[in-house]
Each structure stands twice: as structure tokens, then as C-alpha cells.
Chains A and B, each alone.
Chain A
Amino acid sequence: MDSRTEAEFAEFMHGRWPALVRLGYGLTGDERLAEDLARAALAKAYASWPRVLRAGDPDVYLRRIILNASLGKVRRRRGRERRRGDEPEPETAQLARADDDRPALVKALMQLPVGQRSVVLLRYWMDMTEAQVAAVLGCSVGSVRSQASRALASLRVGEDVAEEVLL
């Protein structure tokens, strides 16, 4: 990579870094993990920067790396549990912490499967269209629609359950 391309890369990354970390936080509920994901995404983007630029939309590429990395972490953890012979815990149980002082919305997001969580973040936080979300996640628009609908329903049910417990 020549110095001009390096400078372009640095400028692009300075601009995207906060959004990448926030996306990572929405996916993992953990700031350190979010920074790790964003850092890994930057490194991968650097390694393929000319190809990323040729593809036309570096943002899509970066988001996809973070989403895949987040999904990969869940799969690897489950694989380790299976190899140890443990009953795999639901992903949400591990993301919920005992000393949880995170905002209620983050806790509720961590109760969703990672696919639904991704759709919620891309669709409602990043304001992407269903087609754009489908492109980032590599699935159909119909799948995005159904995941979004299920996620919203779960978030509402979660709220009702919480209220019942309080009463």
C-alpha cells in the first residue's frame, strides 16, 4: 500500500471507528469485546484495502466483518462446549451478567438471537433499508423482514414479562 492509500485508509478508519465500536457493543453488550471486533475489522480491511475499494462500498464490507466475527464467536464457543461434553448454554444466558449495570435495552438485545440482534441494529440504529440489511447479512429481504418482526415482538414480550415480575 503506498503512502497516499495509507493516508486514505487512516482517514476512512478514523471516521468509521466510533460507529464500528458501537455496532460491536450492540452485538456483544461488552465494550472491550466491541473494540476487539472493530480492531479486527480494521486489520482485515487493511489487508484487503484495494479489493475493498474496488468492491465499491467499504462500509458494507466492515459491517459484514463485524457481524461475521460476532456470529463466529458464538459458534466457536458452542463448539468448545460440545467438545468438552457440556450442554451448550443458550448464547443469551452467557451474555447476561450477574452484576449487570448495562442499560435495559442492551440487556433486552442480548436476549435476542444474534441474527435478530444484527437486524435490529442495522435496520433501526443504522437506518438501513431492508434491502441494504439483506445485502450486509447475505440473506433475503423476506428473511430480514421476518427477523425484524420477531425481534420487535420479543422485545415487547420481554417488556411485558419484566412488568409482570415487578408487579
Chain B
Amino acid sequence: MSIVDERDLRQQLDGVLDAIMPPDAPVRAAARKGKLIQAGRSLGVVAGLAVVAGIGVGIPGLLNQPAREVSHARPMVMVEQSCGTGVREIIGSPAPVAGRTGPSSAAQAARGRPASELAAGGCAWLKP
């Protein structure tokens, strides 16, 4: 083989590839396979929609579950260190504390209140 330049390469490629004589185009077989691909895609879309619908129905249901009643005998309060009659700081609270949510509002709401009162609103992390 010898390739002199681009033109020569073009001619050689023409000679080699044009010598390939493929059989007739399998259009029917391709159409059958194409329909299978379409059916697979449709199934995928339906399955995807079902998953999205499931999430759409399931997540709000989970979020709107009624809060479990907190036992007064063993309040769910997580205290790192005993802090006497009140608390100085709350660093996080996943549930409303004294009707408010969020660390800063919870901290403001909780200052000077006893831990048992805080427990009624849910679980709180307290820091001395």
C-alpha cells in the first residue's frame, strides 16, 4: 500500500469500499426491530410516569402523617449537658419548639424555658 496524498487516499478508499456489495436492505426486519424499540420506549415512559406519580402521592402522605404523641413520662429531649432550670442555646430543632421552627427562632423561643416545656413541641438538641 502506498498513500501519496489526500487525493490518492480518496481514490483508494473508493476502490476498496465500493467493491463491497451488500445484500438487499432489510427494511422489514429493521421496521420490526424499530417497532420493538418504540414499544420499549413507551414502556419506559409509562414506568417513569408511574414512579413520578408514586412519589407525588407517597411523599405528601409521608410528610402529612400526624405527629406521634410524646410521652410525658419520658420526654424526648436530647440534652448534651444538664443546664439547670433553663437553656442557654439551642443549636437545632427539627420540630416546632414553642410554636416556632428553625434554630434561631427556636433559640429565641427557648431561652429561659425549662426543658420539659420544650419537649412538648418535639425533639430538640440543647447545648449548655
A125 to B11, CA, bound (A): 8
Please state if B29 and A39 are interface contacts (CB–CB under 8 Å): yes
> What's the nearest-Cβ distance from chain A to residue B66, in Å?
49
Our pick among B17, B27, B35 for the contact of A42 (Cβ within 8 Å) is B27
Please state if B22 and A14 are interface contacts (CB–CB under 8 Å): no
B2 on interface, CB distance cutoff 8 Å? yes
B-side contacts of A39, CB under 8 Å = 26, 29-30, 33
In the complex, residue of chain B having the shortest beta-carbon distance to the beta carbon of A107: B1
A16 to B3, CA, bound (A): 28
**Total number of A residues with any Cβ neighbor in B under 8 Å:** 43
Q: What string of 1s and 0s marks CB contacts (under 8 Å) between A120-138 and chain B?
A: 1100110100000000000
Question: Which of A71-103 touch B at CB < 8 Å?
Answer: 103
A6 to B34, CA, bound (A): 12
Please state if A22 and B22 are interface contacts (CB–CB under 8 Å): yes
A152 on interface, CB distance cutoff 8 Å? yes
- With A14-B25, A31-B20 already in contact, the answer to whether A104 and B1 are too (CB < 8 A) is yes
A33 to B18, CA, bound (A): 17
The stretch of A43-51, A53-61, A139-147 in contact with B is A43-51
A22 to B23, CA, bound (A): 12
A48 to B61, CA, bound (A): 39
Our pick among A34, A43, A162 for the contact of B37 (Cβ within 8 Å) is A43
A105 to B14, CA, bound (A): 11
Please state if B37 and A47 are interface contacts (CB–CB under 8 Å): yes
Please state if B25 and A159 are interface contacts (CB–CB under 8 Å): no
